[in-house]
A and B are shown apart, each in its own frame.
Chain A
């Protein structure tokens, strides 16, 4: 699935980071502690107007949950990355972010002055900080992924957060199909009912991806993904719009 790990590091819980992932690399995220949440957004580094699109990702694959085989689409009909490994079975993309207000109501306030790096950050501001590094702001923020988190809906549409979704050792691997600016935070899911602000670190590993096989599981999951791969291939050879 992926070759030798080229780089490995840990991102503490309740913080944020961003990185440029090149086509043909994989990003493996591991929750060694259990109970993690990784908020994530994708942008095309050559044109930030092309970005992760949750509605297209869901409707193109007729799914509400995200797991192995699913591709994460841009608003331009292309695939930023495919989920090539997943030990969880469900990742959320409708729960959104914590804000300063949500964190204050749920877990109280912790400012930097008093608590230094044990302060309480929120997902919304975390995205703002990382987006600003690339000249973007709240206008560029889209509905985000919440990897490691599960939000299901009953027949009447009522939402349910599953606190037991991510167990220690849980891992997901994203294979990048085009160059992608990755924006991420490790702030808690806004629906997490935990009593104390959950600070769960994430280990990330970057590797070179195996070359794409004809029988690739993600590409062949559905006809839509075959067409999504075709669009991405056209883009990568310089014929995409």
Chain B
């Protein structure tokens, strides 16, 4: 059984210099790319306390996608860390977290949207930038993937800390990430990776200060 509080830290042996792809993603921007089966990709929290809102799709059949509910039920635990296998809505393993220096990632809290921002913070905040707008632009600008709003589902928030209590409470807490922390995933199938580097200014998910992340991909 995984342990959320103990936070399993597992470092990677991969060297940045050998990476096939290195891309910086500014806060408020999106990243979309197919990661091939067997390739390993890393999301690096450059300045710390950043949330990377991430969705995955089977590149050959995008109606098969990452499923938060199937993933947490199959591992019997709410939090994601090294060793977590990420399952699709069709019950297949899509990716595995193979290294993690943060130790705990959320997949309950979902992404921010302009509309949910009105509920969470204030009706007047409806035009502030949000993750879902980044995803909407991503699907509009990358029609070759065949994705639309229908496909924008329940995501992973890498580096985000959303503890749940035994009594059924849920809070968004200050991040447990720090500059240089990273998470690494190995693809079990050709996978579309869609990331919104979270622009949220209203809660501590990114320390009220959204910052860049770096994506690194290694050949299998």
Give residues in A with beta carbon < 8 Å to B: 49, 53-56, 58-60, 62-65, 73, 75-78, 90, 94-97, 99, 101-102, 137-144, 152-159, 190-191, 224, 227-228, 230-231, 241
Contact = CB atoms under 8 A, between A and B. Distances in A.
B116 A153 contact: no
A139 B109 contact: no
Nearest to A97: B69
A101 B63 CA distance: 19
B36 to A, nearest CB: 23
Given A55-B110, A155-B166, A231 B154 contact: no
A49 B89 CA distance: 18
A156 B115 contact: no
Interface of B: 1-6, 63, 67-70, 72-73, 76-79, 89-91, 108-111, 113, 115-120, 122-123, 132, 149-151, 153-154, 162, 164-166, 168-172
A241 B170 CA distance: 29
Interface of B is mostly: loop
Leading 9 A-B pairs by shortest Cβ distance:
A55-B110, A77-B115, A65-B168, A96-B69, A157-B4, A157-B78, A157-B79, A156-B4, A64-B170
Contacts of A99: 91
B123 A63 contact: no
A62 to B, nearest CB: 6
Nearest to A229: B119
Nearest to B117: A77
A161 B73 CA distance: 10
B116 A64 contact: no
Contacts of B165: 64, 153, 155
A77 B119 contact: yes
